[in-house]
Amino acid sequence: MWRADVFTLFPAMFPGPLGTSLAGEAMQRGVWQLAAHDIRDHGIGRHRTVDDTPAGGGPGMVMRADVLAASFDASLQKDDLRPRLVMSPRGMPLTQARVRNLASTEGVIIVCGRFEGIDERVIAARQLEEVSIGDYVLSGGELAAMVLIDACVRLLPGVMGKEASGQDESFENGLLEYPHYTRPRIFEGRDIPAILLSGDHAKVEAWRHAEALRITQERRPELLEKMAGKELKKG
């Protein structure tokens, strides 16, 4: 069973939206599990302190290495080989390929940072991989962790209704997804493209591919450049 262990100062935030819709239904059916561990349980002293001032000075506070390490060691087995991630804006960007890889493992271990960040020594000592969901800063890693978990869970066998629905999405083939239409046929004077109603599956697929190329060129041209680079390497 795929399992996510999340280390956070705010365990009450979980499962949050992960307890609803596809992810929530899959959790109830036993497809995956989620455990939220309170880092503050291993805080220092009567006030369960988890942070301290940054070495060298500067604003804000830094999560202590000893506290986070103690939380880790109390909750995880030494032979747990799941990827150990920490959500961080300086991390490697999360891609659909990485999500698919994570979904194919036994699960993930995720640390949710707070304050100015986490002591670098615990990142090295516990072999944490920094992952980013975008070039912006959140108040903490919890929402980013939910994004990563949701992206993985929806790819687990039996979660989505049709397996093909996960193969035709944005980024799966290097392109953004083509437009979708459904009833009514005419909405406020706008008609469904006639080719989608033609019944000619080959032409429909060709149209969808052309539209995916057009949208990718307009919105994310660097994706096409990346695809071209991969083709050159193959050649």
pLDDT at residue 168 tops 70:
no
Token pair 């002591």 in the structure block, residue: 119
pLDDT at residue 235 tops 70:
no
Report pLDDT digits (tens) over 21-67. 999 999 999 999 999 999 999 999 999 999 999 999 999 999 999 99
pLDDT at residue 164 tops 50:
no
Asked which of 30-34, 87-91, 215-219, 224-228 is least confident by mean pLDDT, the reply is: 224-228
Residue 163: predicted pLDDT: 54
Banded model confidence at residue 171, pLDDT cuts 50, 70, 90? confident
Report pLDDT digits (tens) over 95-145. 999 999 999 999 999 999 999 999 999 999 999 999 999 999 999 999 999
Q: Label residue 62 exposed, middle or buried (CB < 10 Å: 0-12, 13-18, 19+).
A: buried
Q: Tell me the pLDDT of the chain averaged across its residues.
A: 94
Q: How many CA atoms lie within 13 A of 21 on its CB side?
A: 8
pLDDT at residue 166 tops 60:
no
What's 189's DSSP letter? T
What's 116's DSSP letter? T
Token pair 């291993």 in the structure block, residue: 42
pLDDT at residue 16 tops 50:
yes
Structure tokens at 72: 């880790």
Cα–Cα distance between 66 and 70 in angstroms, integer? 6
Closest CA to 118 of 163, 93, 84: 84
Residue 230: predicted pLDDT: 73
Domains in the chain, please, with CATH?
2-153 (3.40.1280.10), 168-234 (1.10.1270.20)
What's 49's DSSP letter? B
pTM for the predicted model, two decimal places: 0.91
pLDDT at residue 162 tops 90:
no
Are 54 and 64 in contact by the 8 Å Cβ rule? The answer is no
pLDDT at residue 165 tops 60:
no
